[in-house]
Chains A and B, each alone.
Chain A
């Protein structure tokens, strides 16, 4: 079992004919993701690698059932595309676009709340359940099937940790990137909860960064609700205050945003604190057979 997706998840790719969309679709399908349809307005009635393309989500879901959508629609059209997905009651939407205006994200998340659509992202690499399904842009050769759940703010950091774990013979159950922006849908806490309930996940790795108070909320959740051991790595320990460290959300503003305060909160909540990806692997090795 994995969280959110599995081998049977029927996937629609929005923005399937663009450069990134078509390239990543091919990789996902080769990995074994069950891609059943694509949507690009104006490209209906064609195919990409024999995947049928529709002009509208409505037409696609009229033809075949869809469980999840991954959207490669660029930021300025992403709101409309996401609302379209929600309108047809699709339960899971992954939004990869970076730089969507905050107002647009707020509207999408509100509407998704009403239609019951879980939104991962925006500005997310998506998620991968190694060996089962990949609904994202993760470099899959760096990951392997196993029992460690990873939830990360940053895509690249989850690749790095996945790579080191895999090298050390430690596989992953599901790797989820929640998104680098200041606003996102599926929360770190919800992913932690899913891992806690997932019988296959025996250890959870939480990858965080400076800025905001996300990890403080996660720490509260860990203290109250988690029995599964949690290892946390917070990057940006040496970042200067006030500077935007790449992600729109990664700015230290006030005491709560510093790596130090987050590390303290997580430590108090019972999480183990790692300083590098290698240390995470060593900590898991010490736990013995998972």
Chain B
């Protein structure tokens, strides 16, 4: 989960990382209490807001009113703006870059820093990689003094103790909350010390069980701000924790693995068909998940044909068949269903399908051809 700036900054502030004074604006009335001058920042989960005109400095109440009226409810980079963060401007001496992340190339936690703060760091990495300093952290040993000292040297930091505290807090924060990225860009050097002018945090969804209440609160807060209309299957899939990506076509797709799911998707395209969605149940799917997934995909009124692509390793075909049969028995009408089934316990699964008059293919290409043909006929 990517936190919005105001959420990340609230966490920073609670954990002793300095951020500018601010307030959140979610409706035009909120500007009554605004401090002036102020920097108004659209709260959307995407970078490059400044260039997109979604970060604006205002000096007067009328300016604030007009910017709020313009930005609130507008769409920036595909995201509807439902909240603005109004921040007190900060007098900046230098803008630095500092981040913590799990480096997937090296399989190690990494601290990244640069004197080139306030610009797109990926651009810096491309054009002048020597301007980025990388220091790996041993997850078993934690943060070492010399690591912080060498970062401080590279960033030409005068006040080492406060920089040391800052880095320590970032580390504690990421480990304590299972954040896979904590990025401060820019990190401003001011007369009052180091201040995080922006904040980006990614939380590890796989670790949500360790922070149920906290992750839930962040999610709810984002949901309240996200007024985008969601289709019924998207909403159902979210509630049921099913991996679902809506697409434009008319062939519903359910797969029991990400790889074969994507292969099936490509093959539908290659055969001239148009998938209505991508959906993968995950390796631990059982009969209940199968049934609930069918309910999601078939709630999509655009779906003319349902293609179920199953090749069981961990997933057992007897359980998949049980789920399919149960769906058919509890629902009166449904679109034609084309099934591909092989793998673990498929002999049992195929027999169960046969029992309710359903044939299944073993060959994926034949399955796709049939589904595409049926969708075209209907």
- Residues of A at under 8 Å CB distance from B? 20, 23-24, 27, 75-76, 96, 98-107, 109-111, 114, 123, 125, 136-139, 142, 152-160, 163, 180, 182-183, 185, 207, 209-210, 212-213, 233, 235-240, 243-248, 250, 254, 275-278
Contact = CB atoms under 8 A, between A and B. Distances in A.
A154 B260 contact: yes
A102 B278 contact: no
A163 B258 contact: no
Given A106-B107, A156-B255, A246-B280, 13 more contacts: A102-B178, A102-B206, A103-B204, A106-B102, A139-B312, A154-B257, A157-B257, A180-B258, A182-B104, A210-B262, A235-B259, A236-B266, A239-B245
A235 B263 CA distance: 5
B183 to A, nearest CB: 15
A118 B192 CA distance: 49
Contact of A139 (B243, B247, B265, B313): B313
B245 A244 contact: yes
Binding site secondary structure of chain B: mixed
A235 B262 contact: yes
Contact of A240 (B247, B263, B270): B247
22 contacts: A20-B284, A75-B206, A98-B283, A99-B206, A110-B108, A125-B314, A142-B311, A142-B342, A152-B259, A155-B283, A156-B256, A156-B311, A160-B260, A163-B311, A235-B262, A235-B265, A235-B266, A239-B265, A243-B245, A246-B278, A247-B259, A276-B267
Given A111-B140, A276-B263, A20 B245 contact: no
Contact of A157 (B139, B206, B263): B263
Given A139-B342, A246-B278, A209 B262 contact: yes
Contacts of B225: none
B210 to A, nearest CB: 7
Contacts of A137: 313-314, 344
Contacts of B257: 154-157, 159, 246
A109 B265 CA distance: 33
B269 interface: yes
B117 interface: no
A240 B313 CA distance: 27
A92 to B, nearest CB: 17
Contact of B261 (A24, A207, A245): A245
A129 B254 CA distance: 29
Contact of B263 (A75, A160, A180, A212): A160
B311 A159 contact: yes
Interface string B117-139: 00000100000000000000011
B342 A163 contact: yes
A23 B315 CA distance: 11
Given A209-B258, A236-B262, A103 B283 contact: no
A185 B206 CA distance: 18
Q: Which 3 A-B pairs have the closest CB atoms?
A: A154-B259, A156-B257, A157-B259
A254 B269 CA distance: 23
Contacts of B275: 238
